[in-house]
């Protein structure tokens, strides 16, 4: 008899738990706190999710790579009190919780 709940869940659900948790954190942070943390969380969620897929479209790989680099650059000076430049604010929308959720949901639907 298996006592660990995770081991009783389907593999697809297991692969979605970490990205969904990060997206939830990102969404809450977008609403209440600093957008930099939300962007970082969302980008990490997307990269974690798509890392486990056997193959992804090259444009998606570029999108994820740009997001990864962007979120690290954006997150590093988060100790500074000033805001980032306008281009950072515009690009941040490309990695919002809604966009990342849509990408993951669309990829899950294509696997089913």
- 8 A C-beta contact, residue 51 and residue 19: no
pLDDT at 109: 67
Direct distance between the N- and C-terminal alpha carbons of the chain, in angstroms, rounded to an integer: 29
- pLDDT-derived band of residue 93, with 50, 70 and 90 as boundaries? confident
Mean pLDDT of 9-31: 73
User: Average per-residue pLDDT in the chain?
Assistant: 76
> Which pLDDT does position 95 carry in this prediction?
86
What distance in Å separates the CA atoms of residue 63 and residue 70, rounded to the nearest whole number? 10
What pLDDT sits at residue 100?
86
Position 79 scores a pLDDT of: 54
Convert the pLDDT of each residue in 64-81 to its tens digit.
988 888 887 776 765 555
Mean of pLDDT values over 12-18: 73
Separation in Å, CA 68 to CA 38, 48, 63, 72, 94: 13, 11, 9, 6, 12
């Amino acid at each position: 008899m298996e006592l660990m709940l995770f081991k009783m869940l389907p593999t697809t659900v297991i692969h979605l738990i970490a990205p969904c948790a990060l997206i939830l954190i990102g969404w809450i942070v977008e609403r209440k706190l600093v957008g930099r943390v939300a962007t970082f969380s969302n980008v990490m969620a997307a990269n974690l999710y798509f890392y486990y897929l056997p193959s992804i479209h090259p444009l998606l790989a570029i999108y994820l790579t740009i997001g990864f680099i962007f979120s690290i650059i954006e997150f590093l000076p988060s100790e500074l009190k000033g805001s980032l430049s306008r281009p950072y604010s515009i690009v941040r929308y490309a990695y919002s919780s809604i966009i990342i959720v849509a990408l993951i949901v669309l990829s899950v639907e294509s696997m089913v």
